[in-house]
């Protein structure tokens, strides 16, 4: 970042750091309102069952119970987040589709009474055969999860670019591999909660959300309310990672309970209920066939995937398109076929999780590419350098790439990790692996079709100029957007970060923004904030020019000091002075900004998904130590080198890499949602679903390469999700390097490594 900037490019203290460090920060589950009730949802114990009857009479009699509701008390309109497939009801009407499906809800004077009341609701079920295996969901005669979707097909994609048959015919070498991803869960540490208040005809919800806008839109739609009569407020949010992007039963049931009782209702999930609600990463079955020339240059790729979507669509349509769409980013090839079927099963719904759709296909492709490199005798780094995407190119599926420093990332990662010295020279049991990643800097199109701008922002300067408040719909869920956007606004205004205040993510007081998903806010919300700041600056210089008797074009403002550009010795005035004068003469000093994405992408079916104004790139190298007898994997060290354009806040940026890597490390070795043969989660808690602890995390090195993205404000682009994408493949390649065994399913557990080594010893498996 150029030294010319006064506020951006610097580590400023996190704007909400003190509140969070002192315990003062209030999350949805911490909020209390006078006369507030507590609400809880009764869920299905069966994976697939007809509801024969629901008897709520005993629950209603329990002292302290204020309302009990079932499907009869709520709109029957189906909702969802992917508009092509609205398939959920607030409460199940005729049947339940997974263990955890919503059946009824209660509102009570305290939490304890809720639990007791739920036990008193009697639901009679007729258990139906369930489909629990995605690979058999399409079988003739398999149980149907939704009658409207024959053979349980939820999403079917067949895309064909270039001439794959020709490419394969011309290939020097063709290899086919098969990999399986696993279902993981976002596991934010904050459980979902919502407080719903329905007064007169207005519904207000404080929710643990990544997108007040989508909540507002879908909740208004469900209840037939005007959007203006639904207010969604985001308090502090304790992490989302994709799991808090869509409204849940907590908001829908909570709203109805609030309306019926006339009282605020706080609804909440316990940890095991979060797992049941899920919307985590899909389990994907991935077949990859790639043809290369003698030098290992990729000529064509066929990706043939099946994914287990669970009982509802959630964001799964987009996930499915992303899974194949994003595979064309890091390596250049001109012929590509992508087939994908997402099936319904009687398991919790899957949705968007950090790296949306990309990490598992990346695991498969990076493992596959290493196999090809080995077969051809090419170094894994070398084959990646030969195929690495270059700047100012267009992918075969029509994504326009501006900045791209992937080659520099690979070179730097190799340098700082000592790749060339280590590769082939490490003792047995120790291995080094490499992989690449890329991600969108904001989805090019919103989730439901509309022509709203992506982001808007306002800045209001205090009448005496000693503070400025940024109003943005952008959503800080921990990634630090409030801080970064205030830096950007201050920079554009010529003001100081320390004097910035922010009001964010409240649909009534802040301008529209689609929210925190697809790594969009630094580029998109940032663009709007920059524009708003520039509008402030223009006005402040205009008034200053009258005070200073200098032409406005000759003036600039930096860190709150207004000065002449041509006469360095001329007397300066302060931003405060000018702002105060502005208010006295002209009224409120306001700045507005708006960001629209230009039209992006091709015209084929699904062309919109994975379009973006800009793409980040990264290379990762990891080193592991394998216990040759037990299969224990010690993840020793990871090097991530990112091309994320220019940097607004280095500390926060590296924090994003650390977090994305953390999720990738967890999913690589430990994390998996496991089910029994009845479709019930076996590890719906943080003891059984194993996030790495502080003792398990490798040493992490996060570095950058110089890059400038013309589509982003001040040259920025994404970082928060990209670093999750290479990690699983990177570790798989390191394990291969250490032991010569290839693990073809995630996670790469100790037992799988042990088994693969055993089979290799016994000569059972050719690698």
Partner 1 sequence: MYLPDFDYYAPDSLAETCEALERFGAKAKVLSGGTDIIIKMKSGLLSPEVLISLKKLEDLKKIDYVSKKGVVIGALSTHNDLVNSKILNDRYLSVSEAAHNMASNQIRNIGTVGGNLCNAVPSADLPPILIALGATIKLVGTKGERVMLLEDLFTGPMKTVIAENEILTEIVIPDQSSTGSNYIKFGLRRSGALAVVGIAVAVTVNGGTITEAKIAIGAAAPTPIRAREAEKFLQGKTISDDLLAEAGVIASGESKPISDIRGSAEYRRDLIRVLTRRALYKAINEGHV
Partner 2 sequence: MSQVITDKHGIQHYMITINVNGDDYTRVVKANTLLVNVLRDELDLTGTKKGCELGDCGSCTILLENKPVDSCMILAIEADGKEITTIEGIAESSELDKVQEAFINNGAIQCGYCTPGMIISAKALLTRNPHPNEKEVREAIAGNLCRCTGFVNIVKAVLKVSEETNDKEVISNE
> Which residues of the chain form contacts with partner 2 (CB under 8 A)?
11, 13-14, 16-27, 29-30, 32, 112, 186-191, 236-239, 241, 270-271, 477-480, 651-652, 654-655, 658-659, 661-663, 665, 685-687, 691, 693-695, 697, 700
- Smaller CB distance to partner 2: residue 29 or 380? 29
637's contact among partner 1, partner 2, none, with CB below 5 to 8 A by partner kind, is none
Nearer to partner 1, 585 or 694 (CB): 694
Scanning 85-93, 218-226, 241-249, 628-636 for contacts with partner 1 by CB under 8 A, the matching segment is 628-636
Kindly determine how many residues on this chain lie close enough to bind partner 1 according to the rule CB under 8 A: 25
Residues across the chain:
767
**Min. distance of Cβ 684 from partner 2 in angstroms?**
10
Nearest to 15 by CA among 467, 461, 462, 442: 467
Decide if 431 contacts 738 (C-beta within 8 A). Answer: yes
Work out whether 53 is an interface residue with partner 1 (CB under 8 A).
no
Other Cβ atoms closer than 10 A to 469: 16
Residue 353's binding partner among partner 2, partner 1, none (Cβ under 5 to 8 angstroms by kind) is none
Contact residue for partner 1 among 55, 415, 629, 706 (CB under 8 A)? 629
Q: Is 64 in the site for partner 1 (CB under 8 A)?
A: no
Looking at 331-462, list the stretches that DSSP marks H as alpha helix, in order from N- to C-terminal side: 359-376, 380-387, 406-417, 419-422
CB distance 404 to 389 below 8 Å: yes
187 touches, from partner 1, partner 2, none (C-beta below 5 to 8 Å by class):
partner 2
**Candidates 19-27, 95-103, 219-227, 626-634 — which segment interacts with partner 1 by CB under 8 A?**
626-634
695 binds partner 1 (CB under 8 A): yes
Window contacting partner 1 (CB under 8 A); options: 79-87, 122-130, 503-511, 750-758: 750-758
The strand order across the sheet containing 699-704 reads 430-440, 615-626, 633-643, 699-704
How deeply is 448 buried, as exposed, middle or buried, from its count of CB atoms within 10 A (0-12, 13-18, 19+)? Answer: middle
Identify which of residues 133 and 156 has a Cβ nearer to partner 1 in the complex. Answer: 133
Q: Which of 391, 690, 701, 760 binds partner 1 (CB under 8 A)?
A: 690
Q: How many CB atoms lie within 10 A of CB 119?
A: 12
Q: Which is nearer to partner 1, 191 or 296 (CB)?
A: 191
Nearer to partner 2, 236 or 365 (CB): 236
SS3 of 271, please?
A: helix
Supply angle C-alpha 656, 234, 77, rounded to 5.
110
Minimum Å gap between C-beta 354 and partner 2 is 10
Shortest Å distance, C-beta 117 to partner 2: 15
Residue 566 exposed, middle or buried by CB count within 10 Å (0-12, 13-18, 19+) = exposed
Both tokens assigned to 152: 């349980």
Q: Which of 23, 424, 568, 687 is the binder for partner 1 (CB under 8 A)?
A: 687
Cβ closest to partner 2, residue 346 vs residue 727? 727
Our finding on whether 749 is near partner 1 (CB under 8 A) is yes
User: Which one of residues 10, 162, 683, 740 is an interface residue with partner 1 (CB under 8 A)?
Assistant: 683
Window 265 to 304, contacts with partner 1 (CB under 8 A)? 270
**Cα separation, 216 vs 176, whole angstroms:** 46
Compute the distance between CA of residue 565 and CA of residue 588 in angstroms, rounded to an integer. Answer: 27
For residue 745, the minimal CB distance to partner 1 (Å) is 15
Which residue, 191 or 726, is less far from partner 1 as judged by CB? 191
> How buried is 60 (Cβ within 10 angstroms: 0-12 exposed, 13-18 middle, 19+ buried)?
middle
The entry of partner 2, partner 1, none near residue 479 (CB within 5 to 8 angstroms by kind) is: partner 2
8 Å CB contact between 245 and 214: yes
Residue 146 CB, shortest distance to partner 2, in Å, is 32
Name every residue whose Cβ is closer than 8 Å to that of residue 343 and which is 6 or more positions away in sequence. Answer: 134, 137, 138, 152, 153, 154, 306, 307, 308, 309
Which residues on adjacent β-strands are paired with residue 590? 460
Nearest alpha-carbon partner for 27 in 186, 272, 193: 193
Give the binding site for partner 1 (CB under 8 A): 111-112, 115, 270, 629-630, 632, 670, 674, 682-683, 687-688, 690, 692-696, 749-751, 754-755, 758
């Amino acid at each position: 970042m150029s030294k010319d900037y006064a506020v951006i490019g610097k580590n400023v203290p996190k704007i909400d750091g003190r509140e969070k460090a002192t315990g003062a920060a209030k999350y949805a589950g911490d909020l209390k309102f006078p006369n507030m009730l507590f609400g809880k949802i009764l869920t299905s114990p069966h994976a697939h069952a007809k509801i024969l009857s629901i008897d709520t009479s005993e629950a209603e009699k329990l002292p302290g119970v204020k309302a009990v509701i079932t499907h009869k008390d709520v709109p029957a309109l189906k909702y969802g987040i992917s508009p092509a497939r609205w398939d959920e009801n607030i409460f199940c009407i005729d049947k339940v589709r997974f263990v955890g499906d919503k059946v009824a809800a209660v509102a009570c004077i305290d939490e304890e009474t809720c639990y007791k009341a739920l036990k008193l609701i009697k639901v009679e079920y007729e258990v139906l055969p369930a489909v629990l295996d995605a690979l058999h969901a399409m079988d003739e005669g398999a149980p149907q999860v939704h009658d409207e979707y024959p053979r349980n097909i939820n999403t079917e994609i067949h895309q064909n670019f270039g001439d794959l048959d020709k490419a394969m015919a011309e290939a020097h070498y063709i290899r086919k591999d098969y990999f399986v991803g696993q279902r993981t869960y976002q596991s934010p540490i904050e459980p979902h909660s919502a407080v719903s208040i329905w007064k007169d005809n207005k519904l207000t919800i404080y929710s643990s959300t990544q997108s007040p806008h989508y909540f507002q839109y879908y909740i208004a739609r469900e209840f037939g309310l005007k959007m203006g009569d639904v207010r969604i407020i985001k308090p502090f949010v304790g992490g989302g990672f994709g799991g808090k992007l869509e409204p849940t039963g907590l908001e829908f049931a909570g709203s109805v309970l609030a309306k019926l009782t006339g009282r605020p209702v706080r609804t909440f999930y316990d940890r095991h209920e979060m797992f049941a609600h899920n919307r985590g990463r899909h389990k994907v079955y991935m077949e990859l066939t790639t043809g290369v020339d003698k030098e290992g240059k990729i000529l064509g790729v066929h990706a043939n995937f099946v994914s287990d979507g669970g009982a509802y669509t959630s964001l799964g349509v987009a996930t499915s398109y992303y899974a194949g769409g994003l595979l064309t980013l890091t390596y250049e090839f001109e012929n590509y076929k992508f087939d994908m079927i997402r099936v319904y099963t009687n398991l919790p719904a899957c949705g968007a999780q950090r790296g949306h759709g990309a990490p598992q296909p990346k695991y498969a492709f990076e493992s596959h590419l290493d196999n090809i490199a080995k077969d051809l005798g090419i170094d894994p780094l070398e084959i990646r350098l030969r195929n690495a995407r270059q700047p100012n190119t267009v992918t075969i599926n029509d994504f326009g790439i501006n900045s791209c420093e992937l080659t520099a990332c690979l070179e730097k990662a190799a340098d700082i990790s000592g790749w060339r010295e280590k590769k082939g020279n490490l003792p047995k049991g120790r291995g080094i692996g490499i992989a690449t990643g890329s991600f969108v800097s904001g989805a090019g199109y919103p989730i439901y079709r509309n022509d709203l701008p992506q982001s808007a922002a306002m800045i209001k300067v205090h009448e005496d100029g000693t503070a400025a408040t940024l109003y943005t719909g952008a959503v800080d869920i921990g990634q630090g957007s409030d801080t970064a956007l205030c830096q950007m606004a201050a920079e554009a205004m010529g003001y100081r970060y320390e004097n910035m205040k922010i009001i964010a993510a409240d649909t009534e007081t802040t301008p529209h923004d689609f929210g925190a998903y697809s790594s969009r806010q630094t580029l998109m919300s940032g663009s709007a904030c920059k524009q708003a700041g520039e509008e402030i600056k223009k006005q402040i210089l205009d008034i200053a020019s009258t005070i200073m008797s200098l032409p406005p074009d000759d003036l600039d403002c930096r860190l709150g000091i207004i000065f002449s550009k041509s006469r360095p010795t001329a007397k300066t005035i302060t931003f405060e002075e000018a702002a105060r004068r502005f208010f006295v003469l002209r009224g409120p000093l306001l700045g507005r900004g708006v960001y629209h994405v230009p039209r992006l992408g091709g015209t084929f079916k699904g062309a919109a998904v994975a379009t973006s104004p800009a793409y980040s790139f990264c290379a990762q190298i990891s080193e592991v130590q394998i216990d040759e007898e037990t299969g224990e994997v010690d993840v020793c060290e990871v090097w991530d080198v990112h091309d994320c354009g220019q940097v607004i806040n280095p500390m926060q940026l590296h924090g994003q890499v650390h977090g994305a890597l953390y999720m990738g490390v967890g999913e690589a070795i430990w994390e998996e949602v496991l089910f029994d043969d009845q479709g019930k989660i076996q590890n719906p808690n943080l003891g059984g679903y194993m996030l790495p602890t502080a003792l398990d995390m490798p040493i992490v090195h996060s570095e950058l390469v110089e890059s400038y993205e013309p589509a982003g404000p001040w040259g920025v682009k994404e970082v928060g999700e990209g670093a999750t994408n290479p990690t699983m493949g990177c570790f798989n390649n390191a394990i291969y390097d250490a032991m010569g065994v290839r693990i073809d399913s995630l996670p790469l557990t100790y037992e799988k490594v042990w088994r693969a080594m055993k089979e290799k010893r016994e000569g059972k498996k050719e690698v």
